Amino acid sequence: MKKLINNPDDLLPDSLTGFANAHADIIQLQRNPYVIHRKNQPTKPKVALISGGGSGHEPLHSGFVGTGMLDAACPGHIFTSPTPDQMIAAATTVENGAGILFIVKNYAGDIMNFEFASELVTAPNETVIVADDIALPKDHSMGRRGVAGTLIIEKMVGAAAEREHNLAYCKSLGDRICANTASIGAALTSCTVPALGRPTFDISETEIEMGVGIHGERGCSTQEFTDATTLTHNLGDAIYDELKPKKGQEILLHINGLGATPLIEQYLIYEIAQKYWKQKGITITRSLVGNYTTSLDMAGCSMTLTLLDPELTTLWDHPVHTANLRWGC
């Protein structure tokens, strides 16, 4: 294993400190336990959005803390859930009179820890569970995983909270976006967790891992890689079967790089994808391309699609000012 680190133990604390120092105008880092929260607290009561999860997916979630998106993020160890004390500390810091919405990716550890925190937090709170990864069947025993669609829920609900919608509204909005969002990914390589020191799975020079998650777990099938078009169509077909968008439906199309795939390839995938959806009669009105929900140094990409309506589009366009997503302000 060759990585730009000193040792696996110091990586997360030192990296978080670096993140906090690099973006001191936007966020602050609390220690013991670790919480990243927005620097400029809102002046009026607003629903406080708190997310978090294992590290190694940067910029998710810490990179999305700031005005118009998350109020706080709780970073766990690499690919490991944060602990309830982090969520409680986050809640104590950012709750300001309108309650808390937890946004949680659907993994057993995250669910358990956020649930525990939500019971201990005294302020009114709700939870939106993100389970956008359609690689697993809907009736999977653990439920589906939360992947790149999480950013979209955080962005849109963050805008709603900024517009002073109340907790019940933000919770219901989050659930609605989840129901209208589907993702699926494919990997060309595995990734190497520093503490493990070797790739989490083996894959040959001619294969791809279809329906891969973001924790170095295997996908639902290992397939021969033929070409980018076939791969992109396969991702599109899976999402089409899931969301069954009608002709004329407006969508947000998000092509997400998993970490080590160059932008030039991601934009190629975007181009194939946008042609695919156009041929289905679907109208792409918003797009996002880049490394947003990563899996350390994994090569590959995912496709996420959200069915838009005028409200969701307005919320997407609302100004956002975070370390890694920024527009309109």
> Would you please indicate which residues are annotated as catalytic (active-site) residues?
57, 215
Least distance to its own copies, CB of residue 271, Å: 3
- Rounded CA separation 290/254 (Å): 8
Which residue in 28, 96, 274, 314 binds its own copies (CB under 8 A)?
274
Site residues (CB under 8 A) for its own copies, limited to 64-123: 78
Long-range contacts of 136-140 (CB under 8 A, 24+ apart): 136/211, 136/220
- Rounded CA separation 87/237 (Å): 37
CB 220 within 8 A of CB 214: no
Beta carbon nearer to its own copies, 125 or 291: 291
Beta carbon nearer to its own copies, 125 or 256: 256
Which residue in 42, 53, 59, 158 binds its own copies (CB under 8 A)?
59
- The span from the first CA to the last CA of the chain, in angstroms, equals 41
Please, how many CA atoms are within 13 Å of residue 281, restricted to the half-sphere of its CB? 6
Among residues 287, 286, 241, 244, which one has the least CA distance to residue 266? 287
Among residues 241, 304, 317, which one has the least CA distance to residue 273? 304
Site residues (CB under 8 A) for its own copies, limited to 211-270: 225, 227-229, 231, 259-270
Among residues 174, 307, 317, which one has the least CA distance to residue 251? 307
Question: Would you give the binding string for its own copies spanning residues 176-205, x where CB under 8 A is met?
Answer: ------------xx---------------x
User: Interhelix angle for 149-162 vs 310-317, to 10°?
Assistant: 90
Site residues (CB under 8 A) for its own copies, limited to 289-328: 289-291, 294, 296-297, 299-301, 324, 326-328
Under rule CB under 8 A, residue 29 binds its own copies: no
Number of residues that bind its own copies (CB under 8 A): 66
Among residues 285, 271, 283, which one has the least CA distance to residue 316? 285
Beta carbon nearer to its own copies, 2 or 138: 2
Under rule CB under 8 A, residue 272 binds its own copies: yes
Site residues (CB under 8 A) for its own copies, limited to 143-172: none
Host H or E run for residue 168: helix 167-179
Which residue in 29, 38, 55, 155 binds its own copies (CB under 8 A)?
55
CB 241 within 8 A of CB 298: no
Beta carbon nearer to its own copies, 83 or 324: 324
Stretch near its own copies under the rule CB under 8 A, chosen from 132-140, 148-156, 236-244, 283-291: 283-291
Stretch near its own copies under the rule CB under 8 A, chosen from 3-11, 38-46, 136-144, 237-245: 3-11
Least distance to its own copies, CB of residue 292, Å: 10
Least distance to its own copies, CB of residue 296, Å: 5
Which residue in 201, 271, 313, 314 binds its own copies (CB under 8 A)?
271
Host H or E run for residue 23: none
Cross-strand bridge partners of residue 85: none
CB 56 within 8 A of CB 80: no
Applying CB under 8 A, which residues contact its own copies?
1-7, 11-12, 14-19, 21-23, 55-56, 58-59, 63, 78, 188-189, 205-206, 208, 225, 227-229, 231, 259-272, 274, 284, 287-291, 294, 296-297, 299-301, 324, 326-329
